[in-house]
Amino acid sequence: MEKIHKNLNYANLMKTDWAKQFDELQIIEIKKGIRNNLDVSVYANPIFDNEQMYEIRDGLQDNLAISLYAKPEFNFNQMEQIKVGLKDGLDISQYAKSEFDWQQMEEIRLGLIKRLDVSIYANSEYDGAQMSEIRFGLEDNLDVSIYANPEFDWEQMRLIREGMKEELNVSKYAKPKYKLKKMKRIKGNLEIDKYFEKMEKEMEQRKNDWREIKKNT
């Protein structure tokens, strides 16, 4: 597309046949770019809706490498995630892929911020909620390999992750063949067993303490 002259004013722009291919909201984004002396030819294309145009314009304003996301295959939410990653100096190549929706992109971006090994979950087989559970596990230094399996939905993953934090034997229920309801029941039984085990230890400790007191009196 021919580069739009930066001195083109809004009034003249609206009079051209070229402007007729855009709706009012798209024209507004082009107008804002012209006012800020930006190269609006980068996004003044009807293949971009006004929200995509905004994300590209915002990136131009911040001198970002907008060529990495100024692509019609990315919707505005995906563009925003890539833009934010560029602003934060992240390796956006890990998630700037059309196979990821914006929620998946966000989870990978948040993992990169925390310097996590995002390769563990940067897989389109996981949805955003599943990625989130794996990310939380990595942040807690858990062995996420126990539940980083696309066969688990996010609620099953959460149940396993919470069990690991409680130091339960999650191998008893971390099985894709188990429905969530069954997993919850097994986890509940493990929590009860752990509670009574703790109580028994505390009672035994009290007995030992009492014996020591009697011995020394």
Give the model's pLDDT for residue 3.
46
Identify which of 69, 121, 127 has the alpha carbon closest to the alpha carbon of residue 98.
69
Confidence of residue 154 (pLDDT cuts 50, 70, 90): very high
Kind and range of the H or E run holding 59: helix 50-61
Give the model's pLDDT for residue 105.
98
Kind and range of the H or E run holding 193: helix 180-215
Q: Do the Cβ atoms of 91 and 111 come closer than 8 Å?
A: no
Decide which of 62 and 6 is more confident: 62
Domain boundaries, the chain: 1-89
Q: Which amino acid belongs to residue 125?
A: E
φ, ψ dihedrals at 168, nearest 5°: -90, 160
Q: 185-217: per-residue pLDDT in tens?
A: 999 999 988 877 777 776 777 767 677 676 776
